[in-house]
Chain A
Amino acid sequence: AQSVTQLGSHVSVSEGALVLLRCNYSSSVPPYLFWYVQYPNQGLQLLLKYTSAATLVKGINGFEAEFKKSETSFHLTKPSAHMSDAAEYFCAVSDPRYGGATNKLIFGTGTLLAVQP
């Protein structure tokens, strides 16, 4: 069974500092991996996804993530944090053997990012 683990339920950074949110996955096959962001009282929005093309994936709002098979990781980074980045971030995995409506996204437990002025 697939799963993702997000290390650190809360991360606090200063404005302008590097953001690093960790995600490790467990999967019997090369997975597809996603990062979603949830702003307060809103639904989830896709930041970026890895679907077996380039291992370094660039997303919206200056975020990027690198798929490292040897480390089973898909950490999310941003060089310089903005106050507007404060939100909950979810890593998710899906099994490429299952298509469309049969495909379940398995979410991690989320990391709450706080950005200090």
Chain B
Amino acid sequence: DTAVSQTPKYLVTQMGNDKSIKCEQNLGHDTMYWYKQDSKKFLKIMFSYNNKELIINETVPNRFSPKSPDKAHLNLHINSLELGDSAVYFCASSQGLGAFKETQYFGPGTRLLVL
């Protein structure tokens, strides 16, 4: 009955590889997000989607490409991985448009280590 789930939980890979992280929410929410948490625990938004439409696209290298096949899923594909991509990536979801005081529900995170 996990609300926001991510796979994999851990990802260790070599520089230059391409990898994907998957996120699913069963809360019926319309909006999903990707955040990056660096080694100093600083958390910054990368993308948000509403009903499969990209809404927020922060200054993120275009090696990062989010994809939302339906409103319950938001995947993150990363091409040509670099050392600086090592971080914890969190998926989150919230109810929808117009309610800017909503709670965001976070997944458990995917710990990416690029060697």
Contact = CB atoms under 8 A, between A and B. Distances in A.
Interface of A: 32, 36, 41-46, 49, 51, 88, 90, 94-105, 107, 109-110
Contacts of A99: 97-100
B42 A49 contact: no
Contacts of B101: 32, 49, 51, 94, 96
B41 A88 contact: yes
Nearest to A53: B101
A102 B90 CA distance: 18
A110 B48 contact: no
Interface of B: 4, 30-31, 40-45, 48-50, 55-56, 90, 92, 94-109
Contacts of B90: 43-44
B99 A43 contact: no
B43 A45 contact: no
B94 to A, nearest CB: 7
A109 B56 contact: no
B45 A101 contact: no
A46 B41 contact: no
Contact of A101 (B40, B41, B56, B105): B56
A43 B106 contact: yes
Contacts of A96: 100-101
Contacts of B104: 44, 46, 105
Given A42-B109, A43-B92, A95-B100, 7 more contacts: A44-B106, A98-B100, A100-B94, A100-B95, A104-B48, A109-B42, A110-B42
A101 B50 contact: yes
Contacts of A109: 40-42
A80 B87 CA distance: 34
